[in-house]
Amino acid sequence: MIQLEHVHFNYGKREILHDINLTLEKGRIVGVVGESGSGKTTLSQVILGAQKPTKGQVHRSNQRILPIFQHASQSFNPDMTIGASMSEALKYYNKTQSAEVQQRLEQLMVSLKLPQELLRQRPGQVSGGQLQRLNIIRTLIFQPELLICDEITANLDVIAEQHVIDILTAYHRETHQSMLVISHDLAFLQQFVDEFVVLKDGRIVDYFECSDLFDEQRATYTKELVAVYEE
């Protein structure tokens, strides 16, 4: 579980997050939505521990919090095959033997219907959608207790986006671990999150179950986002 109590964060004199109170329960998928500059990425950095709050407290019971970011190409060595790059990271993190790492990789590739030959390619030889799926797989093998996804489908087409949703939902179904998924895309989030956090100008202006997205009681800003989504 992650709990934020009265968290503020400033860049110099500019306030990015204001009085954030949020609890991420084990096993829940939380979608964070808001326009650019609303504080979504800063919130994820504070939860991850990459940034310290200017004021307030962050309590973490999760032992393993891992992020996945938008640009998968920056996560792989361009001079190594994808398989070698993934195996190197896994061996370093899990201290497992290369044969075990290879077996785990191959099993996950099969379960997600990704061809094995992708592991023999270099990053520049595969599509952006395939590379992001491989990037997600590499992180999921680490079995994070909280997975933070920051705009991971921003540059993907609809088919590649659906593949990402399939991977995340399959992982959650198997492990029941928590996820924080940041996106400006309500349609993407609505397909699999349990609840929404709506950020505007660094403040939480709405917080509700996914099933209540179209409720008349939603905040004015949430309704504006929904109206854009329905266009």
Establish if 8 belongs to a structural domain. no
Establish if 85 belongs to a structural domain. yes
Please give the model's pTM, rounded to 2 decimal places. Answer: 0.88
Distance from C-alpha of 148 to C-alpha of 182, rounded to nearest angstrom: 8
Tokens found for residue 159 = 């088919």
Distance from C-alpha of 156 to C-alpha of 154, rounded to nearest angstrom: 6
Look up the domain containing 118 and give its range.
77-142
**CA-based torsion, 95, 99, 102, 106: positive or negative:** negative
Establish if 97 belongs to a structural domain. yes
Establish if 93 belongs to a structural domain. yes
> HSE of 110 in the Cβ direction (CA atoms, 13 Å)?
6
* Residue 92 burial (C-beta neighbours within 10 Å; 0-12, 13-18, 19+): exposed
pLDDT at 142 over 80: no
User: What letter does residue 25 receive in the DSSP assignment?
Assistant: -
pLDDT at 40 over 90: yes
Query: In this predicted model, what pLDDT tens digit does every residue of 189-212 receive, in sequence order?
Result: 999 999 999 999 999 999 999 999
Establish if 27 belongs to a structural domain. no
Tokens found for residue 39 = 């504080």
Residue 96 is predicted with a pLDDT of 54
Q: Which residue has the tokens 């361009």?
A: 78
Mean pLDDT value of segment 66-74: 84
Amino acid at 203: R
> Total structural domains in the chain?
1
Residue 137 is predicted with a pLDDT of 84
pLDDT at 93 over 70: no
Query: In this predicted model, what pLDDT tens digit does every residue of 11-26 receive, in sequence order?
Result: 999 999 999 999 999 9
